[in-house]
Amino acid sequence: MIRHSLFTAALILAASAAAAPKTMAQTVDIPFAGTVGGGCTFDTPIAGILAVQGPVGTPTSLRGDSFINGGSRGKVNVVCSQPASLTVSLPVQTGGPTFTPIFSDASVESPAGVTSSFPGSSPIPLPSNATGTPLEVKMFVDKGSTLQAGNYQYNVTLTIVP
C-alpha cells in the first residue's frame, strides 16, 4: 500500500510539473523620442560709437562706423545650431534731441556677406557653427540740417530667421 501511495504521489507530482506553464524571460522595448530645436543665440554685444559728420561747427549727420574719426562699429557674435539668415532694421532713436532723418541706414558685415536695411537687401546666411559668426554693425542717420547739441542714442535690431 505504501508503494501504491508513493507511486500515486510521484505520478501526481510528475503530472503537475508537466501541466505547469514554463517560466520564460520576456523583453519589451520602451520607445523614446524627442526633438532638439535649432536656433541661434547672440553673445553680449559691444556698443558702437556715434561720430558727427558734416561741415565743422554744423554737423548734419551721425555715423556709427570707424570710417569717421571717433566713430566705431557695434559688434556681436552669433552662435547657431542650424543654418539661418540675418536681417537688420533701420536705426531707431532711443535718446537725445529728436528729429526725423531725411535718410538713415544700417548694415551688417560678416564673413558670409553684407546686408543692409535698404528695401530688397538680401539676408546674410548664418551657418551652423559652434564657435559663432562675428558680426559688425554700422549705422548712419542724416538730419539734412544742423544737429542740436546733445547725447544721441540709437538701436539697430538684428533679426535671425531659421
Tell me how far apart the alpha carbons of residues 12 and 18 are, in angstroms, rounded to a whole number. 10
Percent of the chain past pLDDT 90, that is, above it, reads: 66
Please give the grid coordinates belonging to residue 69.
Answer: 574719426
End-to-end CA distance of the chain: 90
Please write the tens of the pLDDT for every residue from 72-90: 999 999 999 999 999 999 9
Mean pLDDT of the chain: 88
**pTM of the entire predicted model:** 0.76
Which tens digit of pLDDT belongs to each residue from 96-123? 999 999 999 999 999 989 999 999 899 9
Question: CA-to-CA distance for 149 and 8, rounded, in angstroms?
Answer: 116
**Domain residue extents for the chain:** 40-161
Cβ atoms of 66 and 76 within 8 Å: the answer is no
Strand 51-53 vs strand 40-42: parallel, antiparallel, or unpaired?
A: unpaired
Query: What pLDDT is recorded for position 125?
Result: 93
Burial status of residue 115 (CB atoms within 10 A of its CB: 0-12, 13-18, 19 or more) = buried
* Mean pLDDT, range 38-57, rounded to an integer: 92
Q: For the domain made up of 40-161, give the CATH fold.
A: Immunoglobulin-like (2.60.40)
- Residue 32 — pLDDT band, cuts 50, 70, 90? confident
Q: pLDDT class for 54, splitting at 50, 70, 90?
A: confident
Would you state the pLDDT for residue 18?
56
Taking residues 129-150, report their average pLDDT. 94
